[in-house]
Structure 1
Amino acid sequence: GEGAVIMLRFGGKSCAPAGEPIDALVEVVKVVEEGWQSFGASRVTLGPAAVVRIVGTEIDVILNTNRTQTFEPDIFSNLGVDPSAKDLLLIKSTNHFFAGFAPIAAEILYLDAGAPYPSDPRRTDYRKLDRPIWPRVDDPWSAQAE
């Protein structure tokens, strides 16, 4: 429950190339039966969720049951974390987060972890792609791209 300090293994569940789980001593900051975030006018449920802080740091981690992209800053505030009080927010999302976070971000940096979904289409091993796409070609609609 809230306030407990425990050893916890989290992450590393999607596939082996995505990396190993993290083992850390954490303090349980918040626990909710049904976390949620906004997606426009819709509500995306996270299932049971928690915020844990890695002991000895200011790093807060949101743990949620339902796998989902991150869409809006309220994923933090709904769980008691003030996103404006953080120097850095690390969002695990391809690009779904952009519209919600751009208004509050001084800068957005993209990180390519390499797997399981590379963020560079030039490196993606498309198996059924039958047409040119950007950025593999500069202008996929030009006659030369055919």
Structure 2
Amino acid sequence: MTDPKTPAVRAAGEAAVATELDKLASAETGTAVATTTAPPTLAELVAQFRATESNISAGVTLSVAAQIRCGELLQAMQERVAKEIGSGHWGAWVQLNCGVSLRQVQRYIRRAKEFHALDQKVNDGATSMSLLAQGTLLKLEGDAQKKRRTARR
């Protein structure tokens, strides 16, 4: 039996999750996600993000999977912007290219990070949890945080 903590097994699991998210996001948004061996360009990442985000904003797609996909795309864009333009230009670049507020970008990135942290806990525990169950847990956690913030006011 393979050890779920080895880097190769973890990478394979992350690739499988990314593929699953791509399938869900493309099925919900009606957009095809390009599967190329070369990493996508910054322009391609922006186009994929805008397509997914516009469907979320319009209410076509309300799923956690699409929000996670937006966060993943934004994380990839953030890395690219830091390398190509400079790390101090992220906020201005988002305003010019993404069509959403910096705060919304932060929410999407946080959702993706929360998902991957939960996925890592599942992998470390060698337990199985479906993408739907993980999304439900993330949604419940987000709702609980919102209630706590509202209660403090």
Whether TM exceeds 0.5 here: the answer is: no
Larger RCO of the pair (alpha carbons < 8 Å, separation 6+): 2
Greater helix content: 2
Greater strand content: 1
TM-score by length of 2: 0.29
TM-score by length of 1: 0.30
Q: Which is greater in Rg?
A: 1
